[in-house]
Amino acid sequence: MMADRSVLVDRDGPTLIVTLNRPRVLNALDAAMFRELGDVLGRAGADDEVRVLVLTGAGEKAFAAGADLKELAAETPAGARDLARRGQHVFNRLERLGKPVIAAINGFALGGGCELAMACTIRLAADTAQLGQPEITLGLIPGFGGSQRLPRLVGRARAAELLLTGRSIDAEEACRIGLVTRVVPAADLMAAARDLARTVAAGPPLAVRYMLAALVEGADMPLDQAQEYEAGLFGLAAATEDMREGTAAFLEKRKPQFKGR
């Protein structure tokens, strides 16, 4: 890992550990970080040896405390719109990577940091984490997808209350309303994320990709259309060697050996 970069990358077998690395500013998201994160996602998506990603923040205080306000304050309205579009592009790329991304939320996940976490597949939070969308308190609204992903995760009424007040919530409340999946002691967060990543990475890669497509793409379709989409993906999965291996292993009472074919 290169300590002078805004995004650090480390390998743990089939798991890619991605760390936002601006701890002195609570891992605030600036243009360089977006650029580097986009590059990391491009490489990870093309690497068949990478099965799952874990995304976290450097230091003990923050996952990501939001957009870099010094950078944002200097933007024109047109520049701010373009910044939002760039952030949305990176987060959409993450959400549609075709590989699971586990957010290990180790502290503040506010504004853009919360939006980044919501673009991940699964969210684990330290018991010290704080999440929220405080943009309204700055005279702004979320720009990286927060006004759209939050109601899809927690429901429109809960999302409206959080978005309109800018209130931050602790990890336990975030778990109770469905914003995060699980809360663990801060000291155990990365171990829990790595354990979950190993479990997911042991699954059949093609079926995992189809499952993610069904979850992400199907969420915005009418039910009958989404079910037809699911049926098509089911057919694709049934054509794989991994499907034959999985069913054979079940019948033979042994552990399957998936190869991504």
pLDDT in tens, 211-223: 999 999 999 899 9
- CATH number of domain containing 31: 3.90.226.10
155 and 238 assigned to the same domain: no
pLDDT of 1? 47
pLDDT at 37 over 50: yes
- Judge whether 257 lies within some domain: no
- Mean pLDDT calculated for residue range 250-259: 87
Residues annotated as catalytic (active site), given as ranges: 115, 135
pLDDT of 76? 87
The domain tally of the chain equals 2
pLDDT at 177 over 80: yes
- Judge whether 80 lies within some domain: yes
pLDDT of 67? 82
- Judge whether 183 lies within some domain: yes
52 and 157 assigned to the same domain: yes
182 and 237 assigned to the same domain: no
- Judge whether 43 lies within some domain: yes
pLDDT of 12? 93
At residue 73 the predicted structure's pLDDT band, cuts being 50, 70 and 90, is confident
223 and 106 assigned to the same domain: no
197 and 209 assigned to the same domain: no
- Judge whether 50 lies within some domain: yes
Among 54, 98, 123, which residue's Cα sits nearest to residue 213?
Answer: 98
- Judge whether 260 lies within some domain: no
- Look up the domain containing 154 and give its range: 7-201
12 and 93 assigned to the same domain: yes
148 and 111 assigned to the same domain: yes
pLDDT of 253? 87
- Mean pLDDT calculated for residue range 191-201: 96
226 and 139 assigned to the same domain: no
pLDDT of 68? 81
pLDDT of 260? 82
- Judge whether 62 lies within some domain: yes
More confident residue, 73 or 147: 147
38 and 96 assigned to the same domain: yes
37 and 158 assigned to the same domain: yes
40 and 124 assigned to the same domain: yes
246 and 171 assigned to the same domain: no
At residue 136 the predicted structure's pLDDT band, cuts being 50, 70 and 90, is very high
- Judge whether 242 lies within some domain: yes
pLDDT of 69? 81
- Report percent pLDDT > 90 for the chain: 82
